[in-house]
A and B are shown apart, each in its own frame.
Chain A
């Protein structure tokens, strides 16, 4: 039960934040907090790969973009012409109620893929791509792995930037809301702001819960063992390459889910989400949080993403993340939370 205390505290803090914004009439903060929660979902997934399995990925913005863009394209691409031509697959989907009708300003009926089907498709595509990328790439170690995943990130960025269906430099807009349950939908509507804050927080808590369980399980132990000594882990009967691959895929799915939900929340997605600097930022945040610390990554993810989204880091945003990364590597390679600043201060005072 002790393990769940921090999760209960997290839930109380998140509810507290919402109540404070309500009382102080600063509910506009909830918009950035919602976005922050989605980014943090990606970050805890990356934390599993970096801190526990001991791998690095500079391509996670790519997985975020794969999720977001797939969902965006499927829910905004008009299938009406194909439907009228009698395309087999489209008719099949329509007959099973997997397509939704909408009407544009001119009164034409349009036909889109149901957001649920789009979401599942996006996750499936992410799983397939991360699997195919992971098999060769995870054979690499250290800088080589970093470079290979960086290359993957750049490829995804260039593809979304240069492909017409992905809206090129403009990205995709008018992504519809994602109805999860009757009356509960992911969208950026003003009246849904509080609801969406709780959807995002709920997803994040679910993510933390699932990962915390995993870390404390047989698989989690195996991952930490791989991080500690791959040779020894192998000799303990752990299929190290398979475990690394599955962890990579799992964290890619976390990134994709973050991308899908944020795209529906924002009503669109642009190529900057796939940018390499985004990936660097995610890695920096995990490092600041202390690599093998899910909670450190979560707290730092929330604080830094929120500051960045509020514009508190100014126009040097990306540069600041670069500087933070350098400082962390130099002075606190185990993360800010493990500096034990309080203990050091106490020591200084007692001296």
Chain B
């Protein structure tokens, strides 16, 4: 069963066709990767799915419900969570608080409840805190809970961002270049995390540059080049795909 279905999605920036009529679907509980050279439109595609930028056409279905045209917070409330290529943790907040923000869609205390500190709010707050701590624990960074998030090492920040994205109990997790800026050890650690997340029944769609990461963990791969989908297959098949090799290694060497 496909959890996410993308149909003919298109985005133009002025004269540039950033994403051109791309269609594919993501099967529930699998890991799917979108790869492609720089400027292929991978991150743009992500921003279109998560609603951070509006599309110029095409449709996106999540659980068979249309989500194109919804605002980012509405899409998040549907159960799609994301991370950012250039890690966007909230400055001035501890790692724990960052993850607690992630619990937002699954909690409901509003302005009045917050101001009056009603018993129900208090209980909910306790639950949120526990959930956030559990997630930090799951990602083996429980000891960082009280540290200011943006002051930590890059790899640790990445892990906090994962925890934050998981806090909303998403059914689909969008990871935008999760290995960007990480060394090989940290990349291996991220790969382990992603498989761990998948084992919890969460579907993962990731955009990635790092081939080793993608080939190891993905169930399926979509290849983009200049905004167009040129291949979609299993990792082993993608490695043999002539067109893909051409794009990555250049025409003459193929």
Complex contacts, B123 vs chain A, CB 8 Å: none
**Per DSSP, are chain A's interface residues mostly helix, strand or loop, or mixed?**
helix
Query: With A236-B102, A236-B105, A236-B164 as given contacts, are A218 and B114 in contact (CB-CB < 8 Å)?
Result: yes
Expressed in whole angstroms, the Cα–Cα distance for A224 and B91 within the complex equals 9
Beta-carbon contact of B71 and A234 below 8 Å? yes
A203 to chain B, nearest CB (A): 15
Given the complex of chains A and B, what is the CA–CA distance between A210 and B121 in angstroms? 14
B123-147: contact bitstring with A at CB < 8 Å (1 yes, 0 no)?
Answer: 0110010000000000000000000
Known: A232-B84, A234-B73, A236-B102. A213 touches B111 (CB 8 A): no
Bound: A347/B102 CA distance, A? 40
Interface presence of A82 (CB below 8 A): no
- Assess whether A325 is interfacial by the CB under 8 Å rule: no
Residues of A within 8 A of B90 (CB): 224-225, 227-229, 232-233
In angstroms, Cα B91 to Cα A225, docked, is 8
Pairwise interchain contact A218-B76, C-beta atoms closer than 8 A: no
Q: How far is the CA of A234 from the CA of B76 in the complex (A)?
A: 8
Taking a contact as CB atoms under 8 Å apart, the answer to whether A237 and B104 are in contact is: yes
By a CB distance below 8 angstroms, the chain A residues around B110 are: 219
Q: Are B92 and A237 in contact (CB under 8 A)?
A: no
CA distance A112 to B114 in the complex (A): 37
Given the complex of chains A and B, what is the CA–CA distance between A228 and B148 in angstroms? Answer: 13
Q: Which residues of A contact B73 (CB under 8 A)?
A: 234-240
Q: Answer yes or no: A217 CB below 8 A from chain B CBs.
A: yes
Given contacts A210-B116, A218-B124, contact A246 B111 (CB under 8 A): yes
Shortest A147–chain B CB gap in Å is 26
B43 within 8 A of A: no
User: Which residues from chain B contact A239 at a C-beta distance below 8 Å?
Assistant: 71, 73
Asked if A211 CB lies within 8 Å of chain B CBs, one says: yes
A218 to B105, CA, bound (A): 11
Q: Are A214 and B111 in contact (CB under 8 A)?
A: yes
The answer on a CB contact under 8 Å between B101 and A221 is: yes
A174 within 8 A of B: no
State whether A224 touches B116 (Cβ < 8 A). no
A222 in contact (CB, < 8 A): yes
Q: Is A292 an interface position by the 8 A CB rule?
A: yes
Shortest CB distance A41–B (Å): 14
B103 proximity list for chain A (CB < 8 A): 218
Inter-chain contact A221/B97, CB cutoff 8 Å: yes
Task: Tell me if B81 counts as interface (CB < 8 A to partner A).
Answer: yes
Assess whether A271 is interfacial by the CB under 8 Å rule.
Answer: no
Taking Cβ atoms with an 8 Å cutoff, the residues of B that contact A are 50, 52, 71-73, 76-77, 81-82, 84, 88-93, 97, 100-105, 107, 109-111, 113-117, 121, 124-125, 128, 164, 168
List A residues at the B interface (Cβ < 8 Å). Answer: 210-211, 213-214, 217-222, 224-225, 227-229, 231-240, 246, 250, 292
Chosen A-B contacts, 7 in total, with CB atoms closer than 8 Å, are: A214-B114, A217-B115, A219-B109, A228-B89, A228-B90, A228-B93, A237-B168
